[in-house]
Amino acid sequence: MFDPSSPLFPPIAPSRHGMLAVDDLHTIYWEEVGNPDGIPVVFLHGGPGAGLSPAHRRFFDPEQYRVILFDQRGAGKSTPLGECRNNTTQLLVEDIERLRALFEIEQWLVFGGSWGSTLALAYGQAHPERCLGFVLRGIFLCTQTEIDWFLDGARWFHPEVHAEFVAPIPEAERGDLLQAYVRRIMSDDPAVHWPAVRAWSRFEGRRVFLLPQAEDPPSDALDLGVGRLESHYMANLGFFGDDQLIRDIGRIAHLPAVIVQGRYDVICPPVSAWRLQQAWPGSVMHVIPDAGHGAMESGIAAALVAATERFKRSRTFA
């Protein structure tokens, strides 16, 4: 049921949806929402591996926007689920271009949060001529420092959650938690990889919101997608060079951008958003004082909708 107190637009069903084979291994799920003659926008979900939610369609006025959403390789309804082969940032960027060509879109607004912000920056820097601007949330630049924080920084704010995450790993392997989990998550033995992906997904999920939330029922698809793909991308530093997304910001610095960041985001701390804004003087940053990482926290959701509303009127965020 529609909640009139929500900052989001009412629930909406896709006008079209389908599957697109992007190579011999991967087929990705896509959907189109809103006005086919509206402002084109591509939605990039987080994780990597988290996949789409029906709520993701609701950041955009369906009378004014033509929204293309898709499950990235290995995520959601895309197949094979949790597949790490042929799965790199550069290939995801190519998939976005395939979708743009499929829908015959010349340029579009790029909207992404968390890992979606990472992918949005990578796509924009590879294809700046295809971008109208950026709406970014919970910035993650995929640097070693951020990855170390994700795995070990949790003990400073959520020591009980961190202790639960570390507990299954023998003490001799705890010096490199990422590789310890990668070995288990990538195991061919279901008795090994299922407990590992569930532990990884729970470790992240319990830290997303500023205020405690009722835990969602377990989801094998979410756990496998997030556990396998997040650990895969982190182990490969996102397939980026050293601080690449900041180093190459000049390629998109002429385009409008808004950055929405929760003040108490312990998944992607505000320092990354601050670094991005400092490197991108034309961008506008909104720090939400009573929010963590979650896109659906009321202050963050309201700021994201305000950004899309502003863009539809003036094609900028200033």
Give the active site residues: 114, 265, 293
217 upstream amide cis, omega within 30 of 0: no
Q: Please identify which residue in the block is written with the tokens 């999920």.
A: 205
Contact of 241 with 120, CB cutoff 8 Å: no
Return the SS3 of 299. helix
Q: Output helix, strand, coil percentages for the chain, rounded to the nearest 5.
A: 45, 15, 40
Plot region of 237 (φ>0 → left; ψ -120 to 50 → alpha; else → beta):
left
Contact of 249 with 231, CB cutoff 8 Å: no
Q: What are phi and psi of 203, to 5 degrees?
A: -55, -45
Return the SS3 of 141. coil
